[in-house]
Structure 1
Amino acid sequence: MERNLTMIALFAALIAALGLIPKFTLGFGVPITAQSLGVMLCGTVLGAWRGGLAALLFVALVALGLPLLAGGRGGLGVFASPTVGFLVGFPIGAFVTGFIMDQWRNAPVGLAAGVSAVLGGILVVYAFGIFGMMMTLNKTLPEATLLVQAFIPGDLIKAVLAGFITSGLAKARPASLLSRS
């Protein structure tokens, strides 16, 4: 129990720390950050429940006003911004990533982590992000979908990184890969 709580808090902190990498904001108000890599790693390393809880803890801390999002943003105001869908999608994306990782137990860790990161950390999070942009920017589904295309190359790179990082962790410290325990 204590180890689980520590890992959940540690990975919530990882998502926050990845927000310190300088952001690049696109013209419609959504920044490109490394925080989605943290969400992917929550699922690939911690598994579905712990990973989802780590991302949920991060979102809760942002809602409480901590400036943990890229650019030092935090508070309830971010839930009325174009990024709301991505933020709400973080815990669900981490959960789905971990769930897929668990289902692919027989696949090589790196491959399972990469595919899990694409499906949970990109597709699921994008689904929420697109919906959030539709609501806040008053866009249609095709218009909002078109807006997220700028994020795809960077997020695919992050998914590959999640696969390599998770694979390296599995080799160096197999017991620390809770998604496979």
Structure 2
Amino acid sequence: MERSLTHIALFAALIAVLGLVPKIDLAAGVPITAQSLGIMLCGTVLGAKRGALAVLLFLGLVALGLPLLSGGRGGLGVFAGPSVGFLIGFPIAAFVAGLVVERTTLVPFWAALCGAIFGGIGVMYAFGIPGMAVMLDKTLTEASYLAMAFLPGDLVKAVLAGFVTQAIAKARPGALMSRA
């Protein structure tokens, strides 16, 4: 229990630290950040439940006003902007990524890559695109085109999540809680 709480807190901090990487602002108002890599890693390393809890802790701190999102954003106002769908999708994305890693027998790299693609990209877009459409007063098709700007970077992050997860599995197999 204590170990799980520590890992959850550490991964919430990891997401916050990845927010220090300078964001790239898009015309749509949803920035490109490194924080989605943290969401992917929460699931692939911690597993479905712990990964989702780490993300919920992070979002709770953001909602309380801590400037943990890229660019120093925080507070309830971020949940009323064009990135609201992505924020809502964060914990579900981590859960799905973790579930894929937990349920597959693939080696950790491929399991994490699949989890990051299904959860960290698929689920994230499933929530983010409708959120953008509503907040920007666009159609789903228009919002989908806007979201395609994220895809190349998200694919790179999914591969990175695979390599990091594989490295953890190799160096400290007990630390890969998604496979425990």
Check whether TM > 0.5: yes
Output aligned runs, 1:49-128, within 5 Å.
Answer: 49-104=49-104, 106-128=105-127
Deviations 1:79-107 (A, max 9, x none): 11001111111000000000111111x21
Aligned residues: 180
Dislocated runs of 4+, deviation >3 Å: none
Q: Give the distance between the partners of 1:116 and 1:126, measured in 2 at CA.
A: 14
1:177 Cα shift?
A: 0.1
Deviations 1:112-152 (A, max 9, x none): 00011000001101111101101101111101111100000
Q: Give the distance between the partners of 2:61 and 2:96, measured in 1 at CA.
A: 21
Q: Give the distance between the partners of 1:95 and 1:144, measured in 2 at CA.
A: 24
Q: Give the distance between the partners of 1:101 and 1:145, measured in 2 at CA.
A: 27
Q: Give the distance between the partners of 1:165 and 1:116, measured in 2 at CA.
A: 13
What percent of counterpart residues are identical?
Answer: 67
Q: Give the distance between the partners of 2:107 and 2:173, measured in 1 at CA.
A: 13
* Paired residue type of 1:114: L
Q: Give the distance between the partners of 1:33 and 1:80, measured in 2 at CA.
A: 18
Q: Give the distance between the partners of 1:28 and 1:177, measured in 2 at CA.
A: 37
What RMSD over aligned residues (CA atoms) do the two structures have, in Å? 0.5
Counterpart of 2:128 in structure 1 is 129
Counterpart of 1:6 in structure 2 is 6
Q: Give the distance between the partners of 1:127 and 1:32, measured in 2 at CA.
A: 17
SS at the partner of 1:73? coil
Output aligned runs, 1:16-31, within 5 Å.
Answer: 16-31=16-31
Q: Give the distance between the partners of 1:66 and 1:102, measured in 2 at CA.
A: 32
1:28 Cα shift?
A: 1.3
1:165 Cα shift?
A: 0.4
* Paired residue type of 1:100: V
* Paired residue type of 1:155: D
Q: Give the distance between the partners of 2:45 and 2:52, measured in 1 at CA.
A: 11
Q: TM-score, normalised by structure 1?
A: 0.98
SS at the partner of 1:31? coil
5+ residue gaps, structure 1, are none
Q: Give the distance between the partners of 2:133 and 2:21, measured in 1 at CA.
A: 27
SS at the partner of 1:32? coil
Q: Give the distance between the partners of 1:113 and 1:119, measured in 2 at CA.
A: 10
